[in-house]
Every structure is written in structure tokens, then in C-alpha cells.
Amino acid sequence: MKHDRRGITIEAIKEALSFIDENWGEWEGDFQDFMANVISDERVSTYDVERVIRTHTTAKPIDGFEGLSVIRGEPMQLEHYKFKYKPQ
């Protein structure tokens, strides 16, 4: 069965948000700190995560990401992202 790459990425991000909520509640950190919480396999790359997060914050909110806000620096400068997560 072929898996949808975007769907796999969304599930990996949701898992990371759940892990963050369980361990810290409200959390803020840069992109690499966030990626350290994305527990996944080789099918999910930093590019995939960045693209899904960009879609969530600029085009169409994604179900399950409620309470996630992203403060973005210069375009394409992942290290300038700040993630804030407070579950709703």
C-alpha cells in the first residue's frame, strides 16, 4: 500500500505536537528544536515538515494543529522560525 507523503508528514507533526503537549504544555523553539520532536521514519524530511507548516500558517489551517502558531523570519530561513504550541 502506497502512503501519501503529505499525510505521513501531517501525522508525524501531530505526534510531535502531542509529545510536546504531554511533556511541556506550552512550548517555543526554533525549527531544529521542533524537528527533534518529530518522531518519524525516512519518509518525512525537514522540507516536508516545513512545507506543511507553511501551508498551515499561510493558506489553509490543518485539523489537529489548533493552538500551533509559527513566527517566521526571512522566507526560506528555517532557523528563524519560532514555534509556539498551546493546545486548545
Residue 1 has pLDDT above 50, yes or no: no
Domains of the chain: 5-85 (1.10.10)
pLDDT of residue 85: 81
User: What are the grid coordinates assigned to 15, written together?
Assistant: 505526534
The average pLDDT across 50-72 equals: 84
Cell output for 76: 526560506
85 against 78, higher pLDDT:
85
What phi and psi, each to the nearest 5 degrees, are found at residue 61?
Answer: -60, 145
Question: Would the pLDDT of 51 be above 80?
Answer: yes
Of residues 39 and 51, more confidence is placed in 51
* Residue-wise pLDDT tens digits, 2-19: 568 889 999 999 888 888
- Beta carbons of 5 and 47 less than 8 angstroms apart: no
Nearest-angstrom CA–CA distance, 47 and 23: 25
Backbone angles phi, psi at 84, to 5 degrees: -125, 130
Strand residues in the chain grouped as ranges (E): 27-29, 68-71, 82-85
